[in-house]
Amino acid sequence: MSLKKCVCVFHRAWDRMDATMVETTGEKLLYLTDEQLRQGIEAMFFAYRGFTADPDRILQDLAYGRAHHRAIHFINAQPGTTVNNLLNILGVTKQSLNRVLRTLVEDGLVEQQVGRKDRRERHLFLTEDGRALEARLSDAQRARMRDAYRHAGSDAVVGFRRVLEAMMDPEMRRAYTSLREGKE
Amino acid sequence: MSLKKCVCVFHRAWDRMDATMVETTGEKLLYLTDEQLRQGIEAMFFAYRGFTADPDRILQDLAYGRAHHRAIHFINAQPGTTVNNLLNILGVTKQSLNRVLRTLVEDGLVEQQVGRKDRRERHLFLTEDGRALEARLSDAQRARMRDAYRHAGSDAVVGFRRVLEAMMDPEMRRAYTSLREGKE
DNA sequence: CTTGGAATGTCAACAAGGCTGACATAATGT
DNA sequence: ACATTATGTCAGCCTTGTTGACATTCCAAG
């Protein structure tokens, strides 16, 4: 670890101790007050609301929820993925996923194919209708992401992604990068 | 608007049309493929999971959920806020918030004071215990945020915040900045 | 002053979507 | 043959969102 750290603690007019970390990485200094971190936390909260707002609006007319969106998204990203794989990506129980998956199959948005190599596995695919809905949802979400990127600028985008990736849990980061590599 | 835009659409080996936007801001060029946007969307999904993981672990021992965390967070940020104000910030119905608030009051984490000026209003405050729990929760969340910031670097942090702020809905951004100014 | 809205907050009932636990079925591997 | 794995299903619970009905309080028009 090539960074030298120096942690200073001092009192603020606020309501409790506030740790400020000063860190040197090359010539850069990084001051992180609790207040700045709090702002980051709130930014994350409000941004996630905006992030899901457009798909939520589309889905509520269809009697679907965020759970359906997530399933559709990742089946689209990895056509032919198994139930188990989806479970790991989404981080929910099989009973919970199964309920969502069942409605999607009943409504003709998702197809299940028995595995050729291992016939216990069910490989999941979007049907034509499923892809259509996925396109509607992700178009809306991409539009918002694109606007945000455009407004913030290209340098900001790089930083945005770096912080997000650093914020994931290690297993999540593995799932995330495997998805990225799969797509190339 | 000082930016010149050029939108090119072309076909990819993938599965459907992929719009690439090329945008000039000064000397910067910003290429945004659908694939890059998709990665941003997934990064947001996985990062939010990490973002809430630590508080969730703490809360599940206490029979509380994320809703309680949110309420505690914003009551702490704005002591004396009214139920209505909290409603606007959290974006839920008053009935839903009320249930959470009731348990917090019953458990002695939150106090309600009838408004002096308008006695219909209930002003909300954290008790000693409430502040203690808030500290536990936000310490955990700040630690993750701090690690992510540290790992990503100071330039990345600026970009992270810029993109998040651009991703909020306008009303949310207002709530967000008003909180920031209130704290100064 | 009275009275009818409007604003604020509470209670009750319900739905979505998480969870656990138990169990069935089919396929695989040893 | 037997244990293991992948999946599906049922029952029941919890959190957290929803709507509807209602009580309280304030304010303004008559």
Average pLDDT, integer, range A4-32: 46
Sign of the torsion angle spanned by Cα atoms B110, A47, A78, A99: positive
Contact A153 B32 (CB under 8 A): no
Q: Quote the pLDDT of residue A171.
A: 85
Lateral strand order in the sheet of A110-114: A81-82, A122-126, A110-114
Q: Quote the pLDDT of residue A28.
A: 59
Report yes or no for ipTM above 0.90. no
Tell me how far the alpha carbon of residue B52 is from its chain's centroid: 10
Contact A146 B21 (CB under 8 A): yes
The verdict on B70 touching A (C-beta cutoff 8 Å) is: yes
Higher pLDDT, A9 or A97: A97
Residue A1 has pLDDT above 90, yes or no: no
Q: Which helix (H) or strand (E) holds A8?
A: strand A4-10
Say yes or no: Cβ of B68 under 7 A from any atom of strand D: yes
Which amino acid, residue B184? E
Chain B environment of A69 (Cβ under 8 Å): none
Per-residue confidence band for A10, with pLDDT thresholds at 50, 70 and 90: very low
The verdict on A70 touching B (C-beta cutoff 8 Å) is: yes
pLDDT tens profile B65-103: 999 999 999 999 999 999 999 999 999 999 999 999 999
Percent of chain A clearing pLDDT 70 (strictly above): 82
Closest by Cβ to B169, choosing from A35, A49, A172: A49
Contact A37 B176 (CB under 8 A): no
Closest by Cβ to A91, choosing from B29, B49, B156: B49
Residue ranges, comma separated, of all CATH 1.10.10.10 domains in chain A are 41-152
A59-65 contact pairs (CB < 8 A, 24+): A59/A137, A62/A133, A64/A103
d(CA B175, nearest CA chain A) in Å = 9
pLDDT tens profile B2-43: 333 333 333 333 333 445 555 555 455 667 888 999 999 999
Q: Quote the pLDDT of residue A20.
A: 56
CA gap B66, B142 in Å, rounded: 16
Tell me the CATH number for domain A41-152.
1.10.10.10
CA gap A132, A125 in Å, rounded: 13
Q: Quote the pLDDT of residue A8.
A: 30
Closest by Cβ to B43, choosing from A45, A49, A165: A165
pLDDT tens profile B107-152: 999 999 998 888 989 999 999 999 999 999 999 999 999 999 999 9
Per-residue confidence band for A4, with pLDDT thresholds at 50, 70 and 90: very low
DSSP class of residue B129? Answer: H
> For chain B, what is the radius of gyration of the CA atoms?
21
Average pLDDT score over chain B: 84
Contact B150 A28 (CB under 8 A): no
Chain A environment of B175 (Cβ under 8 Å): 46
Residue A146 has pLDDT above 50, yes or no: yes
Structure tokens at B46: 């996985």
The verdict on A153 touching B (C-beta cutoff 8 Å) is: yes
Provide the greatest CA pair distance for chain A. Answer: 67
* A33: three-class secondary structure by DSSP: coil
CA gap A163, B161 in Å, rounded: 10
Question: φ, ψ for residue B100 (rounded to 5)?
Answer: -60, -45
Residue B54 has pLDDT above 70, yes or no: yes
Say yes or no: Cβ of B63 under 7 A from any atom of strand D: yes
Residue A151 has pLDDT above 90, yes or no: yes
Average pLDDT score over chain A: 84
Which amino acid, residue A133? L
Which amino acid, residue A54? D
Residue A125 has pLDDT above 50, yes or no: yes
B144, A40 Cβ separation under 8 angstroms: no
Say yes or no: Cβ of A120 under 7 A from any atom of strand D: yes
A-B CB pairs within 8 A amount to: 225
The verdict on A43 touching B (C-beta cutoff 8 Å) is: yes
Which residues is A28 bridged to in the sheet?
A25
